[in-house]
Amino acid sequence: MLSFRGFKDRVLHRPKKPKNAKAQLGQPDVHADHTPVARTLAHASQSSTAQSQAENRLLPEDLWQAAFDQLDKKVRVILQQGNISALTNQNGENHPGTTDLVNEVIQKTKEQYEEYLRGGIKIKRSTGEEIDLRKVSGKIIDAALSFKEIISAVVSFDPTGHAASAWAVVSLGLTMTKNYTDRRDAVFDSPAYLADVLARCAYIEKSFYRNNNREKAMVRHAIVKIYRSILQYAAEILTVQNSGTGRGILNSITAVANQRLTQLQSSTEEEERKLHQWVQLDQHLQHGKEAENILTQLDDISKNLRALVQKFSLPIAKGAFYNAYENQHEDMCLPDTRVELQRRISAKFVSTIAKQLMTCRPHLADGILETIETDLDVSEKSLREQFNKLILLPLQTQESNQRTMVIVIDALDECEKNEDIRTILKLVPQVQDSASIRLKVFLTSRPELHIRQEFQLNHQLEDLVLDKRPKEEIEHDIQLYLEDSLSKISKDNSLPTDWPGTDAKKKLTGMSVPLFIFAATLCRFVGDGIQSPEDRLDTIMRREVSGQMESIYQPVLEQLLNPKDKNESKDLAAEFCEVVGVIVLLTTPLSARALGKLLDRRETKISFLLKKLHSVLRVPEDINSPVRILHLSFREFLLDTKSAFHVDEKETNRL
């Protein structure tokens, strides 16, 4: 909880009484010239107080604070707990958090426009009319620059940082516009409108209210009322934002933003009609030319970049870009969580990332294209040489841009060559040496043996084994995923909004834990359109979906075989069926050591096989601990499959 008492004392000109005044006057000391010290101190204190009062009278009232004080206590607490204005200045200077957020809004607007130039953003009204993103981006940048200039020139403008709450909502709106493609039209109006109102009010406050204009009282009343409406709006958005995560919270923010924005516009327009009597409201935007220059520079960079990319084409993996056309109908993780890396494309791994870096961060283009010009065959070189020339060198030599960027590498285990996977895992940590961008790499993979070994050898890599997370945590995440996916299926098929019901969702969650891939397969099966979702769901509830498990387990098990030697592959499959068949059929799980004794096989041979099966079995490090299957569906798959990995239940029980 913040305290504004000190600030209010300055604004309302309440000089503080000196503590222990009686003690100071009661026993005076005497200087060598016999002047009582108490009299000197009292005189000094009176002078100091008078000076303080004079200084306080010179400080204009903080209208944001005045608006804040008019809010209900509950709303004030919400804004304070948002930590936006937590660093209240005690010296009356402008609040640094506000400036930081304004700069953030400018940066996000530029990034949004860059994505628009790349064809990644197109926003249409519900009427079908396409929004002129260049015009709106220019307006936001103009408003932000104008506001920034005003607060940097005006002493004691918003020292408590309450305006930061409003700019935080502008920033949130821009983030949602960028990340949620299906809701861009619903949330896009808020940041543009708010930025303009904030700049306009700052201009009015600077030009009229602070210049002792004769209509000062009426201007003050109108501005405070607008500020109060803005803070109320910000509090409601922040409340919804802090209440949860995922698609549900997006829907809530969108609904609140639309409804409350209409109310905010109505109340603001009412006050601006009053202000129009004294103020020319079209004078607040003073940086249109600068905003235009910024957008023109981005236009030029984009144009030159497209020309250069066409001239020096890099081989890339199609579908590897987030939201790529090739993947638009694929079942996928929630936004900003997937970049697909398919089999047999490790040769395109480096050039694909280089292309994305160059597209998303144009200032890296010069370094990458310089490499291509000097070495036209760089994409044919080894992975290590490609990585050094196309990624590391540009990152280390370009000017600093301290934005954070995340590279997502999904399903690394699906690369065909294990040697390439090891090389990639050795190269990836080197991006930490980047001087121009803070790069983070998020990598997903099945826990195959060669990948686990590389993580153990390379201490720069940090791993998180999902099936070792607390069951409650996994269950919660899978439940969220199922609710989101089933909600889309329900909407697409005009089913009741609560379909398929709480009990069915709970059962599906229990069936899926701990495998997200199982949940994804179920949802894909239910929503494939071949049969009605209700019929598909009935099939799942009867546990008749073993055929769907083929796509999950067959690729994992095929890695055990030797494609160059059919006879060896046949022997390996037989060994698998003998060992794993016992594991999936035993009522009481056994350890690797116990399995060796039961099957009369060397303990080391059993352990070597199990090391390759971490994707489907829970294999403990302790050789005396029991080995268990990760998911019951693996047992059902082995009993039903027609492949070489079929487990004959009767034959296995004879062992």
What is the distance between the alpha carbons of residues 387 and 428, in angstroms, rounded to a whole number?
9
Helix (H, G, I), strand (E, B) or coil at 402: coil
Question: Is 306 a member of any domain?
Answer: no
State how many domains the chain has. 5
Task: Please give the pLDDT value at position 17.
Answer: 41
Write the pLDDT tens digit of every residue in 571-616: 999 999 999 999 999 888 899 999 999 999 999 999 999 988 888 8
Shared-domain flag, residues 13 and 26: yes
Task: Please give the pLDDT value at position 21.
Answer: 39
Would the CA dihedral through 310, 314, 317, 321 be positive or negative? negative
Nearest to 324 by CA among 163, 118, 483, 170: 118
Question: Is 522 a member of any domain?
Answer: yes
What is the distance between the alpha carbons of residues 68 and 79, in angstroms, rounded to a whole number?
9
Would the CA dihedral through 168, 171, 176, 179 be positive or negative? negative
Q: Specify the pairing of strand 617-618 against strand 628-629.
A: antiparallel
Shared-domain flag, residues 55 and 69: no
Shared-domain flag, residues 451 and 590: no
Helix (H, G, I), strand (E, B) or coil at 124: strand
Six-digit token string for 363: 């200032």
**Which of the 8 DSSP states describes residue 629?**
E
Nearest to 505 by CA among 528, 524, 531, 485: 485
Task: Yes or no: say if 486 and 523 are a contact pair by the CB < 8 Å rule.
Answer: yes
What is the distance between the alpha carbons of residues 508 and 527, in angstroms, rounded to a whole number?
14
Specify burial of residue 114 (Cβ count, 10 A radius: 0-12, 13-18, 19+). Answer: buried
Residues in CB range of 51: below 8 A, 6 or more apart = none
Shared-domain flag, residues 499 and 369: no
The one-letter amino acid code at 469 reads R
The one-letter amino acid code at 384 reads R
Nearest to 444 by CA among 417, 406, 480, 495: 406
What is the distance between the alpha carbons of residues 206 and 187, in angstroms, rounded to a whole number?
30
What is the distance between the alpha carbons of residues 68 and 61, in angstroms, rounded to a whole number?
13
Shared-domain flag, residues 455 and 516: no
Helix (H, G, I), strand (E, B) or coil at 87: coil
Question: Is 302 a member of any domain?
Answer: no
Shared-domain flag, residues 12 and 105: no
* End-to-end Cα distance, the chain: 69
**3-state helix/strand/coil string of 266-306:** HHHHHHHHHHCCCCCCCCCCCCHHHHHHHHHHHHHHHHHHH
| Rg of the chain in Å (alpha carbons) | 33
**Which of the 8 DSSP states describes residue 494?**
T
Q: Residue ranges of the alpha helices (H) in 401-549?
A: 418-427, 449-457, 471-492, 502-512, 516-526, 533-541
For 222-234, b where at least 16 C-beta lie within 10 A, e where not — what string? bbbbbbbbbbbbb
**Which of the 8 DSSP states describes residue 413?**
G
What is the distance between the alpha carbons of residues 187 and 169, in angstroms, rounded to a whole number?
11
Shared-domain flag, residues 189 and 286: yes
Q: Residue ranges of the alpha helices (H) in 85-215?
A: 96-117, 133-153, 163-179, 184-187, 189-207
Task: Yes or no: say if 137 and 40 are a contact pair by the CB < 8 Å rule.
Answer: no
Of 291, 325, 354, which one is at a domain's C-terminal end? 291
What domain range is 638 assigned to?
Answer: 552-653
What is the distance between the alpha carbons of residues 491 and 499, in angstroms, rounded to a whole number?
10
Question: Is 392 a member of any domain?
Answer: yes
Six-digit token string for 497: 């909004």
Of 544, 561, 588, which one is at a domain's C-terminal end? 544
In the predicted model, residues of the chain with pLDDT beneath 50 are 1-58, 83-94, 182-183, 186, 245-250, 281, 321-344
Of 407, 430, 463, which one is at a domain's C-terminal end? 463
Shared-domain flag, residues 114 and 194: yes
Which residue is associated with the tokens 């089933």? Answer: 486
Task: Please give the pLDDT value at position 51.
Answer: 44
Q: Which helix (H) or strand (E) holds 404?
A: strand 404-409
Six-digit token string for 231: 């803070």
CATH of the domain at 592: 1.10.10
Task: Yes or no: say if 196 and 143 are a contact pair by the CB < 8 Å rule.
Answer: yes
Which residue is associated with the tokens 């694929």? Answer: 330
**3-state helix/strand/coil string of 552-589:** HHHHHHHCCCCCCCHHHHHHHHHHHHHHHHHHHHCCCC
Question: Is 49 a member of any domain?
Answer: yes
Measured CA to CA in angstroms, residue 571 lies from 550, 562, 563, 568, 644 at distances of 21, 10, 12, 5, 10
Shared-domain flag, residues 446 and 477: no
Question: Is 113 a member of any domain?
Answer: yes
Question: Is 299 a member of any domain?
Answer: no
Six-digit token string for 159: 């020292």
Query: How far out from the chain centre does Cα 350 lie?
Result: 24
Residues in CB range of 101: below 8 A, 6 or more apart = 84, 164, 167, 168, 170, 171
Question: Is 300 a member of any domain?
Answer: no
Shared-domain flag, residues 326 and 351: yes
Nearest to 517 by CA among 416, 441, 595, 413: 413
Residues in CB range of 345: below 8 A, 6 or more apart = 317, 320, 352, 415
Specify burial of residue 344 (Cβ count, 10 A radius: 0-12, 13-18, 19+). Answer: exposed
Measured CA to CA in angstroms, residue 212 lies from 44, 217, 218, 224, 589 at distances of 32, 9, 12, 16, 85
Shared-domain flag, residues 614 and 634: yes
Helices (H) and strands (E) in the chain, counts: 29, 4
Shared-domain flag, residues 257 and 175: yes
Write the pLDDT tens digit of every residue in 165-224: 888 888 887 876 665 554 455 456 678 888 888 888 888 777 766 665 566 778 888 888
